[in-house]
């Protein structure tokens, strides 16, 4: 599976069941949410603006998309919702690798460019470095309508993993997409 | 990482935090347990007996081990414990692949031979086919003292995944091993 196939299979509405593990305290978090992954045109104004801010040629991008989520955690009763735009930029020389640009929110000061690679077994791995931490996400499809996601947060030296989470995401076949 | 390195890194005592997802009902299960993975000699009587029952030459095996676990699930209050002996048999032609023989318990009638492969990114994937279902386990190390495990049960046609679980396993550095 290449990045284009991976993204095309990801479009749609997903019902997500997520378990968070706080490793030091062996604490569990449970979250149910709905995730929408909607393709955008390459010349969408938001997409062009993201390309400009990262100085990326829009001709080199594939399948930009908006991801939105709405859920509820058992750690606090407030619904957790948000959305962001993501822009994949495959490497010209090695299409199994690339960058993932993320829309920077109004309140954010740190750019969030991740690097991804697709492994031969179809796992998409995304690494994003922040100021003091590094996030790793692995996403793969068990079937076309079921994907799994494992996310870990490491300290920036890469040694300590503080939290890990696992999501089972089932496609909502009956829903309409906005 | 090859299978020998993977097994050697796995030996020890692990504190496991496992989340089970029952996909159809979006139900969560939480389990805390202790797992011991202890190497056995290749000429241990149990190992030789397993080799004999599967008609495998003991000279072709690597790092047989006993795995035991003791935990508690929030689905029932009874402690969940057990142990089994596992015998890896790498393929002569492709050492990244092989068979994993499992000790057959007194009450079991079905042999449980799994097939494994190590991917280039160090993920150990084990497939075990049962009468009406197929289990897939992916295990990988985030650090030498932290490993993750994702297990799924599929219907035997490979289409439906009924349950998925995620384990974070932290090495117990202070404990003594039996």
Mean pLDDT of all residues in A95-121 = 85
Report residue A41's pLDDT band, with 50, 70 and 90 as the boundaries: very high
State the nearest Cα–Cα gap between B84 and chain A, in angstroms: 26
Residue A51, classed as helix, strand or coil, is helix
Q: What is the pLDDT of residue B114?
A: 95
Output the CA torsion B54→B52→B110→B4 (10° steps). Answer: -60
For residue B30 the two structure tokens come to 């939480």
Q: What is the pLDDT of residue B108?
A: 64
State the nearest Cα–Cα gap between A124 and chain B, in angstroms: 12
Asked if residue A135 has pLDDT above 80, the reply is: yes
Task: Sort strands B97-102 and B113-118 into parallel, antiparallel or unpaired.
Answer: antiparallel
For residue A31 the two structure tokens come to 């979250």
Mean pLDDT of all residues in A2-19 = 96
B164 → closest Cβ in A23, A148, A161: A148
Kindly state whether A96 is in contact with chain B, defined as any CB-CB distance less than 8 angstroms: no
Kindly state whether B26 is in contact with chain A, defined as any CB-CB distance less than 8 angstroms: yes
What residue spans define the domains of chain A? Answer: 3-170
Task: Report how far residue B90's alpha carbon sits from residue B99's, in angstroms, rounded to the nearest whole number.
Answer: 6
pLDDT digits (tens, 9 = 90+) for B114-171: 999 999 889 999 999 887 889 999 999 999 999 999 999 988 766 688 899 999 999 9
State the nearest Cα–Cα gap between B68 and chain A, in angstroms: 20
Kindly state whether B28 is in contact with chain A, defined as any CB-CB distance less than 8 angstroms: yes
Report residue A108's pLDDT band, with 50, 70 and 90 as the boundaries: low
Fold classification of B3-169 is Lipocalin (2.40.128)
Q: What is the pLDDT of residue A160?
A: 86
Mean pLDDT of all residues in B82-108 = 90
B150 → closest Cβ in A26, A159, A166: A166
What residues contact residue A118 under an 8 Å CB cut-off, 6+ apart? Answer: A1, A2, A3, A6, A96, A97, A124, A125
When scoring A74, A166, A171, A172 by the number of chain B Cβ atoms within 10 A, the one with the most, hence best to mutate, is A166
CB < 8 Å to B125, chain A: 121
Other CB atoms within 10 Å distance of the CB of residue A10: 20
Q: Do A21 and B23 touch (CB under 8 A)?
A: no
Report residue A45's pLDDT band, with 50, 70 and 90 as the boundaries: very high
More confident residue, A131 or B36: B36
Q: What is the pLDDT of residue B74?
A: 72
State the nearest Cα–Cα gap between B149 and chain A, in angstroms: 10
Kindly state whether B166 is in contact with chain A, defined as any CB-CB distance less than 8 angstroms: yes
Looking at residue B24, the DSSP 8-state letter turns out to be T
Residue B63, classed as helix, strand or coil, is coil
Kindly state whether B170 is in contact with chain A, defined as any CB-CB distance less than 8 angstroms: yes
Other CB atoms within 10 Å distance of the CB of residue B39: 16
Kindly state whether B15 is in contact with chain A, defined as any CB-CB distance less than 8 angstroms: yes
Report residue B96's pLDDT band, with 50, 70 and 90 as the boundaries: very high
Report residue A76's pLDDT band, with 50, 70 and 90 as the boundaries: low
Mean pLDDT of all residues in A150-156 = 90
Task: Report how far residue B136's alpha carbon sits from residue B163's, in angstroms, rounded to the nearest whole number.
Answer: 11
Residue A47, classed as helix, strand or coil, is helix
Task: Report how far residue A21's alpha carbon sits from residue A2's, in angstroms, rounded to the nearest whole number.
Answer: 30
Q: Do B150 and A148 touch (CB under 8 A)?
A: yes
Closest-CA residue of A relative to B117 is A121
Task: Report how far residue B26's alpha carbon sits from residue A44's, in angstroms, rounded to the nearest whole number.
Answer: 36
Q: What is the pLDDT of residue B132?
A: 83
What single string gives the DSSP state of each residue in B66-87? EEEEEEEESS-SSEEEEEEEEE
**Contacts across the A-B interface (CB distance below 8 Å):** 77
Asked if residue B175 has pLDDT above 60, the reply is: no
Asked if residue B172 has pLDDT above 60, the reply is: yes
Kindly state whether A148 is in contact with chain B, defined as any CB-CB distance less than 8 angstroms: yes
CB B5 within 8 A of CB B12: no
Report residue A56's pLDDT band, with 50, 70 and 90 as the boundaries: very high
Report residue A75's pLDDT band, with 50, 70 and 90 as the boundaries: low
B32 → closest Cβ in A26, A120, A168: A26
* Closest by Cα among A146, A142, A128 to A86: A128
State the nearest Cα–Cα gap between B159 and chain A, in angstroms: 7
Closest-CA residue of B relative to A119 is B121
Mean pLDDT of all residues in A41-62 = 96
Report residue A178's pLDDT band, with 50, 70 and 90 as the boundaries: very low
Mean pLDDT of all residues in B93-105 = 91
* Closest by Cα among A134, A65, A140 to A100: A65
Mean pLDDT of all residues in B6-24 = 96
Q: Do B123 and A120 touch (CB under 8 A)?
A: no
Percent of chain B with pLDDT over 70: 88
Fold classification of A3-170 is Lipocalin (2.40.128)
Asked if residue B40 has pLDDT above 80, the reply is: yes
State the nearest Cα–Cα gap between B143 and chain A, in angstroms: 7
Residue A9, classed as helix, strand or coil, is helix
More confident residue, B159 or B58: B58
Asked if residue A15 has pLDDT above 50, the reply is: yes
What is the sign of the dihedral through the CA atoms of A176, B28, B117 and B119?
positive
What residues contact residue B77 under an 8 Å CB cut-off, 6+ apart? Answer: none
């Amino acid at each position: 599976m290449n990045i284009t196939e991976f993204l095309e299979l990801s479009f749609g509405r997903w019902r997500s069941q997520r378990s968070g593990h706080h490793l030091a305290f062996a604490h569990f978090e449970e979250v149910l949410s709905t995730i929408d992954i909607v393709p955008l045109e390459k010349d969408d104004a938001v997409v062009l603006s993201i390309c400009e801010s990262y100085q990326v040629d829009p001709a080199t991008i594939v399948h930009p998309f908006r991801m939105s989520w709405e859920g509820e955690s058992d750690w606090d009763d407030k619904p957790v919702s948000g959305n962001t735009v993501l822009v994949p930029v495959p490497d010209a020389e090695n299409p199994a690798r690339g960058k993932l640009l993320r829309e920077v929110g109004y309140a954010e000061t740190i750019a969030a460019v991740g690097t991804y690679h697709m492994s031969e077994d179809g796992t998409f791995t995304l690494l994003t470095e922040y100021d003091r931490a590094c996030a790793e996400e692995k996403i793969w499809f068990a079937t076309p309508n079921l994907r799994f996601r494992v996310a870990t947060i490491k300290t920036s030296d890469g040694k300590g993993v503080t939290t890990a989470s696992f999501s089972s995401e089932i496609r909502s076949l009956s829903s309409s997409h906005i």
